Structure 1
Amino acid sequence: MSGAEEDMKKQTESILRELSAEEREILWRVIKAERDKLHMKNPRGINEDIWKAITEIIK
């Protein structure tokens, strides 16, 4: 791994460690929604899935 890649990895890890529990849950749910739609040629409903996750977590 090059120096730039290592720096980026450290920055990413630092940002992820600083997330609150709610922010981590939102991030996880967004990643899951994207993975669920990844196989689709024209994914539909991703925005609704993300919005639903956010509203459920904030309540």
Structure 2
Amino acid sequence: MAVPKKRTSKAKKNARKATWKRKADKAAQKAFSLANSVLKGNKTSFIYELTEEE
């Protein structure tokens, strides 16, 4: 199994974590924006078919 040779500094660890969180926040914001536009009927970047259930 691969093992790191030296300890990762706090700054590098925090920078990586901040990048990961920023990407997650951006994805969540994009999903929320898309959901709002679909609910309001202003969808332009999202195509879907409505299936009518009988």
Q: TM-score range by the shorter chain?
A: 0.3 to 0.5
TM-score, length-scaled by structure 2: 0.40
Larger Rg: 2
Structure 1 or 2: more helix by fraction: 1
TM-score, length-scaled by structure 1: 0.38
Higher relative contact order (CA 8 A, sep 6+): 1
